[in-house]
Chain A
Amino acid sequence: MAALSIVRPGMFTTVQDLGRWGFQSRGVPVCGAMDHYSHRLANRLVGNSDQAATLELTLTGPQIRFENQTSFAVTGAVFALTLDASVVDMNRMIEAPAGSILRFGERQLGARSYIAIQGGVDVPMVLGSRSTHVLTRMGGLDGRALRAGDTIHTLTGVRGEGREVMTSPPSPLPPLPSSLTPTRIPDGGARLRVIPGDQRLFHQLASRRFSISSHSDRMGYRLEGSNVGDVPAAELISSAVVTGAIQVTPAGQAILLMADHATTGGYPIGAAVIAADVPRAGQLAPGDWIEFEACSLERADVALREQEAVFGGR
């Protein structure tokens, strides 16, 4: 078991995994990594299962002291990284000696990075997931973002799924598929593929460029630019919504729903970002531009299969 000390927490760093599925009928948001592609890649790099919990940082990185010798990897938003005095790479496994300190420099691209620790972050499972939901103080470390002085533990000697104690030195990790490359991190903005919803709203969403408002968080991004007009006047009966859905309020405010979104909503949905493009949405930062283009369900399925194939398929 390794321990990490949080010297500085960064702007907003939380424990996340692939989400708390299965309880949306009880109003529990899914949560989980905003860029689950980078989360999975980080885990694969250190030999963890995809479901192992990582640290998701937002816009600025934490400063972390490794109390024991630890293997870790950083993926997602691009930062200059140093381990003590050495520059270290993103997107590969790094051995941190006991007492070494990981520092994040300036953010270069993207919004969120993932730090996977070999074994995975050890916090209690809540409803089948370790993901943090700050609003309801559920999951993660006491249901909150990390603070200076926190200690993070990892599960013992885990390779893949096991929880068994490591009794011998770890065998070399199996080579990763060469197809397993980092997400293309957006550089200032992204054009995302969507399945159209309400036709009138969709055409308006697809015909303009928005920017991500500073009033954006893990629940959703407010999209700035010209307001959407012609919003259907009739109040809708509340129903379930999905991550990636773009809802439009009666005032014409478009909101892109992200990982922590409420399970249901009553606003009309103009379109929904396809699952294969949700990780890139998770890498957009306030001030970035965003555009939408129509995609068929068939093409969305192909895109998702291609992304899954990168991880070895299912």
Chain B
Amino acid sequence: MSNVRLVPMGDTCLSVMLDDRIDPAINARCVWIAARLEQEPRAGIRDVVPTFNAVAVHFDPATISRRDLDADLRRLAADAPPSTGAAGDLIQIPVEYGGRVGPDLTAVAEFAGCSERDVVRLHTAAEYRVYMLGFLPGFAYMGSVDERIAMPRLDVPRMRVAVGSVGIAGRQTGVYPCDTPGGWRIIGRTEVSLFDPARTMPFLLKAGDRVTFVPA
């Protein structure tokens, strides 16, 4: 079993921190811990946020003592199976690559020293893991992008990236859930909405899901 540290952030958040690296097995344990906390809610816990290698538990210290919470989280972390087995949902996202909606596809092809078609082939060949959501409602950090097309983000972010834009930032890929400034290399766009609060299921993705991109 790997190291588990409990680290307070301020007085209303306690983070369960696993090994300091990005790894599907470590992330799966984080997702497992977060899922357990959602299935068996504790009074005083306000929010549970699994990330790459940690689970942040936002709590109200006036309702739950930090000592009880600390012990509870340590138990859960110890219970988390080394390989959780449970694979998340598999979601397919159709993407229109290149042209006006993928202004950085050419640059990524140059970076990789291959054709634009090869970039699309490499981006659609992999099954990506949703490691975490953050930045904006519904925005998923997914990995890992093939090293050949893992172009670093722009030095100067764009003032506006359109909703649905599909981007690459190093070995991560993601889809912008709304119009926003952003620095990822935009290679295409999808019509699929990642976040719509009016839907019964407002969010398309959750941590632990698997995603493939297909040419639209």
Chain A residues within 8 Å of B, Cβ to Cβ: 21-30, 126-127, 135-136, 138, 194-195, 197, 237-242, 244-245, 262-265, 269, 272-275, 295, 297, 300-301, 304-305, 308, 314
Contact = CB atoms under 8 A, between A and B. Distances in A.
Contacts of B136: 27, 135-136, 262
A237 B53 contact: yes
A239 B141 CA distance: 11
A301 B59 CA distance: 12
Contacts of A126: 197
Interface stretch (B93-101, B127-135, B182-190): B127-135
30 contacts: A24-B47, A24-B49, A25-B49, A25-B133, A26-B133, A26-B138, A26-B195, A27-B133, A27-B134, A135-B136, A136-B178, A138-B137, A195-B9, A238-B132, A239-B53, A239-B56, A240-B51, A240-B58, A242-B13, A242-B56, A262-B136, A263-B135, A264-B134, A269-B9, A272-B9, A272-B11, A275-B11, A275-B61, A300-B61, A314-B62
Contacts of A265: 134
Contact of A238 (B21, B51, B197, B203): B51
B28 interface: no
A275 B48 contact: no
A21, A27, A297, A304: which has the most chain B beta carbons within 10 Å? A27
Contacts of A24: 47, 49, 56, 58
B8 interface: yes
Interface of B: 8-13, 15, 20-22, 34, 46-54, 56, 58, 61-63, 66, 132-139, 141, 177-178, 180, 195, 197, 202-203, 206-207
Nearest to A269: B9
Nearest to A244: B10
Contact of A264 (B8, B135, B197): B135
B49 to A, nearest CB: 4
Nearest to A273: B10
Given A24-B49, A136-B178, A245 B10 contact: yes
B9 A264 contact: no
B23 to A, nearest CB: 10
Nearest to B57: A240
B47 A304 contact: no
A22 B137 CA distance: 12
A301 B180 CA distance: 38
B48 A25 contact: yes
B62 A300 contact: no
Contact of A240 (B20, B54, B139): B54
Contacts of B12: 242, 275
Contact of B9 (A26, A27, A138, A245): A245
B139 A242 contact: no
Nearest to B44: A314
B79 to A, nearest CB: 20
A262 B46 CA distance: 16
Contacts of B177: 27
Contact of A25 (B9, B178, B206): B206
Contacts of A138: 137, 197
A60 B211 CA distance: 47
Given A127-B197, A264-B49, A264-B135, A301 B9 contact: no
Contacts of B20: 237
B183 to A, nearest CB: 13
A139 to B, nearest CB: 8
Nearest to A25: B49
Contacts of B62: 301, 304-305, 308, 314
A264 B207 CA distance: 13
A77 B207 CA distance: 40
Contact of B134 (A194, A238, A244): A238
